Amino acid sequence: MSRTVVCITGASGSIYGIRLVEELSRLGGVDLIVSSAGHRVIEEEVGRERFEKIRNLVTFHDEKDISSPLASGSTLCSYRGVVIAPCSMSTLGCIANGINYNLIHRVGEVALKERIKLILLVREMPYSLVHIENMLRVAKAGAVVMPASPGFYHKPKSMEDLINFVVGKVMDMLGIENDLYSRWKGL
């Protein structure tokens, strides 16, 4: 089973990263990096208890640990991919411009240079021209930019259905079969 790196930044929507870790941890190893702002958002939006449950399912890396094995392409090349969910516009800007203030930025940069699948689940709106240009820049470099935009054709009944739709689409991009949402079957 392949490992996946999941990063949670300070954008609203930390539930996407947590839900993704819950699913991925059943299929293989997960390495998790949470920014300091990400920790604050998790506490506000999801609560410490649910985060502590996933923390026991992963290999946790401190965002300040630039000596982490994940900071090197020789390690990261054996991973299925890197998902930043949610991805703040600040993190997007750093990755788009090759700036490394923390391990999340470094892992994003390494994924691009090593041609490892990098999925950025951007979660802020509206977008400024700077945001759009940064999305274009990382897309041209090989990243997949996915706005956290759930579909409604599957007739969601709950917030969990909306979250699962987005997480299921991320897993699709990683090449992982899942049944987190009902797929379009036509009219």
The reply to whether 180 falls in a domain is: no
Count of domains for the chain? 1
The reply to whether 183 falls in a domain is: no
- In this prediction, residue 1 carries a pLDDT of 54
The reply to whether 179 falls in a domain is: no
pLDDT of 39 above 80: yes
The reply to whether 184 falls in a domain is: no
pLDDT of 155 above 80: yes
Percent of the chain exceeding pLDDT 70 equals 99
Tokens 């996946």 -> residue = 4
The reply to whether 187 falls in a domain is: no
pTM score, two decimals?
Answer: 0.96
The reply to whether 186 falls in a domain is: no
- In this prediction, residue 2 carries a pLDDT of 86
Better-scored residue on pLDDT, 38 or 2: 38
Domain that residue 57 falls in = 4-173
DSSP 49: H
DSSP 104: H
Q: Who's near 58: CB < 8 A, 6+ residues apart?
A: 6, 21, 25, 29, 30, 31, 32
Whole-angstrom distance, CA of residue 172 vs CA of residue 170: 5
Whole-angstrom distance, CA of residue 176 vs CA of residue 187: 26
The reply to whether 98 falls in a domain is: yes
DSSP 12: S
Q: Residues in the chain, how many? A: 187
